[in-house]
Structure 1
Amino acid sequence: MRFHPLRRHRAPAWAVAAVVAVAAVLAGTLDARPDAAAAPFQPVAQADPPVEDDGADCPVPDQPTPSDPLLPDPFTRLDGTRISTVADWRCRRAEIRELAERTVYGQKPAKPASVTGDVSSSRITVNVSHQGRSAGFSAGVDLPSGSGPFPAVIVFGGFGADTAAIKAAGAAVISFDPYAVGREGTPRDNKQGAFYSVYGSSSGTGLLMAWAWGVSRIIDVVEQSDGSVLRAEATGVTGCSRFGKGAFVAGAFDQRIALTMPIESGTAGAPALRAVARESGAQPLSSAYSEQPWLGDAFGSYTGDPARLPVDTHEMVGMVAPRGLFLMENPHVDWLGATSGSVAALGGAEVYQALGAGQNISYWSDVQDGTHCASRPEWRGPLQQSIAAFLHGTGSAPGVFRISPRKAGDLAEWRDWRTPVLTAGG
């Protein structure tokens, strides 16, 4: 397991939130999912302080997986055995991560040989060098009122959670231009942007993973700073539509992100890929694959038969656990596949439950305004509550599921596995 150099740290905000949330459940003060107390709380095995990938040392076998029209069991290892302890999840998560890279998104390289940059009250600069290639990009910083250092939410492309609500909750806004890292409108064999300048224009890694890599490099620079402006251990990420896809992938693939808030991410985002293929009106897998090189090149062979995929997005939701996750969806636009989104959220919530962190995931699609990427009043409360819990370490996590009856999926139709009660041993 990889750790940062030894230094003094406060407890990560997500860990504080987990303890507070459990206390709130016991006190009966949270509006939780009906089964939110089904699993006993167990301490979750994760590096402290968090690292980008704490399962990097786990061996992942390269073996075929059987085709399955149902959602794969997130608790069954590639060797066919089921995990039984909380500690087992670390290496099971590593298997899911590797399979998702191989078949859905493309590889996310480890931290480059050199990452340098600066953090100021108005800007973050990032400079990367690796094996003779280099690239750079920057992101804007907008601080809230008060004195720092502040937690921060990285906002993809100016489209994400309400930035006024973020700042009112005492968090800075980092404005990230994903196109500086991976441009749209390019052919798959000639991808452009900082990521591809370093790893090659013919890289099989799609834009979503390239954008996630860019978020990770921003966090690297914040970690290396003197900590006077931003708190490295209290970073969130959000985005809407295509940028919601990017925020979802960024949160799944960097365990330093304490709070992930994708909005209306649609196909290639949170919605279950197997379910999207059967949801009337949802963007087809082939359409999402061809519209932009969002997904990895390897995904092209699965668009017509997602049952062959060894993973699905409910497991990527599970990859975020036990960290904070607030999924927001729009049931008024069929193209966004909100029914499939609820299936993935419910499936991923089973991982949260098994890890004893059921309160740390929230989902909300029951909204009145159908405008794409609108700032909705229904979301403001749980959004600010999530920022308080996971970035400030105060109060309790929302732990709420509000699924629109217009687009309500049934997890029972998509699984033949049961959620284990994981013990604290191991």
Structure 2
Amino acid sequence: MFLCLLSLLCLAHLWMVSAATSSSCAPSLADLPQPSDLPIINTLPDPFTFRLSNRRVQSRADWECRREELMVLVQQYLYGFYPDHSREQVHARREGNNLTITVAVAEKTATFNANVLFPPEAVGDYRSRASGTHGVPVVITTGPTDLVPANTTSFLESGVAVAQFDVNTVANDSYTRIGAFWDLYGDRDIGVMTAWAWAEHRILDAIEQIVPEIDTSRVGVIGCSRYGKTALAAAIFDQRITLALPLSSGAEGIGPWRYYYESEGAAEKIENITTNYGYWSDTELWKFDNVTGNSTRVPFDAHELVGLVAPRAILWDEGQEDWWTNPEGSISVVFGAAKVIFDWLGVGENVGIHVRHPPDDLHCGESAYPAIQPFVRKVFFGTPTSVNFSDISPFPPHPEAYPWAAHLPKP
């Protein structure tokens, strides 16, 4: 694997805008087992137990330390290690609402484009005054092309700007390493999800530099399917992001590795991804496909990926019969377990789910976009909502998936 020989400098900079980082908490790469040496864990791993030492979290300070361990684990076994942003220089140029973003690292440079759509002036001004802030919030969306107009309109009508870019200009959606990210980091063992997330962060850098109409204290990321996986990664690696909206994201996103519900159809498994879309992750994830217990040896699961977003806000949307993304696992298993983490941190209102029912309940249904707006407005504007974003119906709860919730440490 290309990145196993990372320098200590790269280890120290584990994610963007680090909060309360302590290098003594982050395990060294030398301490990380091979996938075949990791223990089988049949239920969701306990987020309050350190994976390498088996020590239990005892306090909020311990949780920050545990978070650092998790950041190393998810980079080692899934995402690849995020580039050291302190070595990058970001220059942005604006023509109207179009942004040209150039990133320089040492002797290398790479450029890609983005554009920003603003809400109608009356809506934007009203929302800004109502929330007591200057500028409007923004949601950065990931995809091969722009969001379809109906989906963009949902945000604009809520008073939220939308920033868009073509992922293929940053990292081609294939094993072929073409695009701005690979121009800089072509020798790295990093998944394309991480490359796309990196682009969202550089777009945010550009907005901070030259788009004063946007309030960069209120930033969301959104994507559906593989781009939903990316939205989750983007929120994990940059704490400037205040709201994550991964839609229909499946495995590597909100779909759990350990719980598949296939009574009505197939669900995406680790071998499906590593065989067909291995470039989404680093190559270390591929090794789990070749060991007994494969996905049950992954030392984390989707609820812990969600937990890395806390205490910031996250909501995900699933289609009731979008079987390939394992909706029952994402809704009944991951939401319940993630809610325990958010509740323990005192921010239970910052995690939510939305279930699309028939007839618009298949993959990436467009009704998700207007349906999630009450949660978006709550996070960005403090607008109260009567919508129950904890409603998991028609699926049953599965507390047996997270037995550790019965014995939580005191926060």
Q: TM-score range by the shorter chain?
A: 0.7 to 0.9
Q: For 1:404 and 1:371, how far apart are their aligned partners in 2?
A: 16
Q: What do the CA deviations read for 1:160-204 (whole angstroms, capped 9, x no partner)?
A: 9922111111000111222222111225xxx2222111112x421
With over 3 angstroms needed to count, the CA separation of the structure-2 counterparts of 1:419 and 1:172, relative to structure 1, is farther
Could you say which residue in structure 2 is the equivalent of 1:344? 334
Q: Secondary structure at the match of 1:183?
A: coil
Q: What do the CA deviations read for 1:134-182 (whole angstroms, capped 9, x no partner)?
A: 1111111110012472210011123599221111110001112222221
With over 3 angstroms needed to count, the CA separation of the structure-2 counterparts of 1:206 and 1:409, relative to structure 1, is farther
1:219 to 204, 222, 227: 204
Q: For 1:89 and 1:316, how far apart are their aligned partners in 2?
A: 14
CA displacement at 1:250 relative to structure 2? 1.1
2:287 to 301, 312, 318: 301
Answering whether residue 356 of structure 2 is matched by residue 356 of structure 1, we say no
Could you say which residue in structure 1 is the equivalent of 2:391? 402
Q: For 1:297 and 1:270, how far apart are their aligned partners in 2?
A: 20
Letter in 2 for 1:410: H
CA displacement at 1:237 relative to structure 2? 0.7
Q: For 1:121 and 1:87, how far apart are their aligned partners in 2?
A: 45
The TM-score normalised by the length of structure 1 is 0.79
With over 3 angstroms needed to count, the CA separation of the structure-2 counterparts of 1:338 and 1:95, relative to structure 1, is same
Q: For 1:164 and 1:297, how far apart are their aligned partners in 2?
A: 38
Answering whether residue 63 of structure 2 is matched by residue 89 of structure 1, we say yes
Could you say which residue in structure 1 is the equivalent of 2:213? 229
Residues 234, 392 of structure 1: 8 Å contact kept: no
The alignment yields a C-alpha RMSD, in angstroms, of 2.6
Could you say which residue in structure 2 is the equivalent of 1:150? 136
Q: For 1:205 and 1:397, how far apart are their aligned partners in 2?
A: 41
1:52 to 14, 17, 22: 17
Residues 106, 295 of structure 1: 8 Å contact kept: yes
Could you say which residue in structure 1 is the equivalent of 2:190? 205
Q: Percent identity?
A: 29
CA displacement at 1:341 relative to structure 2? 1.1
CA displacement at 1:121 relative to structure 2? 5.1
Q: For 1:51 and 1:101, how far apart are their aligned partners in 2?
A: 13
Q: What do the CA deviations read for 1:377-418 (whole angstroms, capped 9, x no partner)?
A: 6x635x22222232234446966222242x546132354454
Residues 46, 402 of structure 2: 8 Å contact kept: no
Q: For 2:354 and 2:270, how far apart are their aligned partners in 1?
A: 24
CA displacement at 1:61 relative to structure 2? 1.8
Q: More deviation in 57-66 or 353-362?
A: 57-66
CA displacement at 1:290 relative to structure 2? 2.8
Could you say which residue in structure 2 is the equivalent of 1:67? 40
Q: Which has the higher helix share?
A: 2
Q: Secondary structure at the match of 1:386?
A: helix
CA displacement at 1:113 relative to structure 2? 2.4
Q: More deviation in 300-309 or 313-322?
A: 300-309
Could you say which residue in structure 1 is the equivalent of 2:131? none
Could you say which residue in structure 2 is the equivalent of 1:33? none
Residue segments in structure 2 that go unaligned for 5+ positions in a row = 1-14, 126-133
With over 3 angstroms needed to count, the CA separation of the structure-2 counterparts of 1:309 and 1:367, relative to structure 1, is same
Could you say which residue in structure 2 is the equivalent of 1:28? none
Residue segments in structure 1 that go unaligned for 5+ positions in a row = 1-49
Residues 91, 103 of structure 2: 8 Å contact kept: yes
1:376 to 363, 367, 377: 367
With over 3 angstroms needed to count, the CA separation of the structure-2 counterparts of 1:131 and 1:408, relative to structure 1, is farther
CA displacement at 1:259 relative to structure 2? 0.7
Letter in 2 for 1:114: Q
Q: Secondary structure at the match of 1:154?
A: strand
Residues 76, 83 of structure 1: 8 Å contact kept: yes
Count of residue pairs the alignment pairs up: 366
Residues 236, 391 of structure 1: 8 Å contact kept: no
